[in-house]
Structures are given as structure tokens and as C-alpha cells.
Amino acid sequence: MLYPEIEPTHSGWLERPDGHEIYWEELGNPDGIAVVFLHGGPGAGVSANSRRFFDPQKYRIILHDQRGAGKSRPFGSLENNTTDHLIGDIEALRQARGIDKWLVFGGSWGSTLAIAYGQAHPDRVLGFVLRGIFLCRDLEIDWFMDGMDRIFVEAGKRFLAAVGFDRNPGSAALLDRYGDVFAGKDGDVAAIAAARAWSGFEATCCTLLPDDGLVENFESDGIALALARLEHHYFVNKGFFAPDQLLANMNRICHLPAVIVQGRHDIVCPPISAFDLYAKWPGAELEIVEDAGHAASEPGIVRELVRATDSFNGTGFTRK
């Protein structure tokens, strides 16, 4: 259901004033509808499949690795890494590529960032395609830290054991303990093991049916170290948002078209957040995929995401 594999026609690093270098790539039709892909995590980075949700004859496709992730430099850096910095990077990339407005596509943390970017720059957005909604509220962070392990019990035990717990001490205490380990108080080996446990736990919880390849990918050096440390950093700082900020500011973007794709069995980002967002967005369309969890790789999620991008005509979604 994805479009065929495709290589970038242009790529490079966008130098930012604070020392970060943001890796970006462009592909598809240079005269097509511009779309920006915002990856999850934070810290997950883009992959070859990230390019394949869009018809390359129709779209001018822009992807980038967010600060600290993927090929962006310095890898795993928490310094000058906040949501406002990420929004600034997206806007700087838009200007650098000479794009007036674009469709914004994001899943999981990418949905969070897409909404935040849109609220900061609504005049630069054509519309949204969002998946696995995460609004960075306390209830969502607490569920990740002290909730998912009640469903995925075996992976949850490994998640806890990596930082010395045999039972969940609660969200705040678990975040504190992971913070100590990631800071190196137990040594670098323990920090790396904890990062792999965190990332592997998340990957295990991502799919309705087991996907060993996804877990192995998340536990690799290229993803685990950045994903775990950056997610922890953003969780501790509550996404650098005020309470309920994204829902409170929906008046800034609710006039724009959107398709929200949500797996019914999403354990990482439970559907309640998608419904809460949809309630604030009268013009949006909500597609519940009954046979899917959280991952963008699940067939039903892929189907609806591609259907959404195929139906966008530059001003809205023409659904059949």
C-alpha cells in the first residue's frame, strides 16, 4: 500500500545558530504540493519508509531528523532541545527550501509537533494528516510510565528491571530513576542498557500483533540512545507546554482541514486523545482503524494514511 521505494533528490544539513545541524532530504515532484513529514519519538528519526506515504508525482516531499535524532548533529543532544527549538527548525527549513505553505504530516510525537507548529504558524499550513495522537498531557505521560506495563506485562517487567525495580513505583519515581541512569550515575553501560529497555518496551507496545523486527530496530544504537533520552527529556519537561496547551489553542488551526488516523488498540497513545482533539476540530475527519495499534507500519494505518494523502487536493481532502 505504500508507494515504491524512492531516494532523495536533494539532502543536506541545515545549520542553526545554536550549533545544531538538522539533516533534511527532499524528493518527489519539485512543482508538486509541498508536504513535511514529522517523525515520532522524539528521537526516532526518519526512515526510508517515511518517504513512501506520498505519491511522488503529486508531492514535493520534505523530511528531516529532529534535533538529536537520526543524522542530525550532535546525536542525542539535549542542549537547546525544546519544542520551541523544533518548531523553529521546521520553519527555518520551510524558508530555506523556498516553500510558501505545506501539508503537515505527523504521527505520535510527530502529531504533537505538527499541532504545535501549526498553532505557531497557521498561515504556513495547508492542512494536516495526523496519526496516533499524543497531546503530551500528564495523563498520557503517566500512562506510558505506569500503565502500558499492565497490558504488556513481560516487556514492562524488563522496562522496570533495567533501572532496578521489580514493581512499578509510579510515574514520577520511575522518571526520576531513569533520569539518574541516563545521567550516568550508574555508569555508561547501565545507561545504554536502560535506553534499549525503554525503546524496546515502547516498540513492543506499538503493534497489535508482535513485530520482532520493529523491536530490534528500536533497540539498535541508531535509535535507542536518542529515543529514550529525548523522550525522557520531553516527558520530564511535559513537552515544554503549559497544561492542556494544545487543546486550548485549537482556535488557531481548527479552520484548517485535517485527517486523524487512530488505531483502536493503540496502547502507546490511547484513542481518548484522538477523540479529545477531534472534539475541538469540527472540520476534521477521524478514522478509527479497528485492527491496529500504534505503529505507522500496520496495514490498516498505512491504508488510511495513504488514502488521506491521495485525497488531498491542495486546499482540502476530497474523500470517496
310 catalytically annotated: no
171 catalytically annotated: no
Burial class (CB in 10 A: 0-12, 13-18, 19+), 278: middle
What is the pLDDT confidence band of residue 209, given thresholds at 50, 70 and 90?
Answer: very high
Burial 101-130 (b: 16+ CB within 10 A, else e): ebbbbbbbbbbbbbbbbbbbbeebbbbbbb
Condensed to tens digits (0 to 9), the pLDDT of residues 101-122 reads 999 999 999 999 999 999 999 9
Please check the confidence at residue 27 and state whether its pLDDT lies above 80: yes
d(CA 243, CA 246): 8
DSSP track, 248-302: HTGGGTTTS-EEEEEETT-SSS-THHHHHHHHT-TTEEEEEETT--S-TTSHHHH
Q: Among the options 20, 39, 232, 294, which is catalytic? A: 294
d(CA 32, CA 59): 5
Contact (CB, 8 A) for 25 and 10: yes
221 catalytically annotated: no
Widest distance between CA atoms in the chain: 56
Q: Which residues contact 124 (CB under 8 A, 6 or more apart)?
A: 91, 94, 100, 101, 102
Which helix (H) or strand (E) element contains residue 33?
strand 33-38
What pLDDT does residue 222 have? Answer: 80
**Runs of H (alpha helix) within the chain:** 83-96, 109-120, 138-145, 153-161, 171-182, 188-206, 212-218, 221-236, 245-248, 272-279, 299-311
What pLDDT does residue 185 have? Answer: 79
Mean pLDDT, range 137-152, rounded to an integer:
98
Round the average pLDDT of the chain to a whole number and report it.
Answer: 96
Mean pLDDT, range 269-286, rounded to an integer:
97
Q: Among the options 77, 108, 199, 273, which is catalytic? A: 108
Give the single-character DSSP code of 67. T
Contact (CB, 8 A) for 107 and 63: no
First to last CA, the chain: 17
What is the pLDDT confidence band of residue 320, given thresholds at 50, 70 and 90?
Answer: low
- Of 47, 62, 56, nearest to 93 (Cα)? 62
Q: Where in the chain is the domain with CATH 3.40.50.1820?
A: 10-135+241-311
Side chain identity at 193, as an amino acid letter? A
Q: pTM to 2 decimals?
A: 0.97
Contact (CB, 8 A) for 85 and 28: no
Helix (H/G/I), strand (E/B), else coil: 65: coil
Mean pLDDT, range 32-60, rounded to an integer:
97
Please check the confidence at residue 149 and state whether its pLDDT lies above 70: yes
d(CA 271, CA 34): 29
CATH number for the 10-135+241-311 domain, one of 1.10.1740.10, 3.40.50.1820, 2.60.40.10, 3.40.50.200? 3.40.50.1820
Please check the confidence at residue 319 and state whether its pLDDT lies above 90: no
Q: Among the options 50, 146, 266, 273, which is catalytic? A: 266
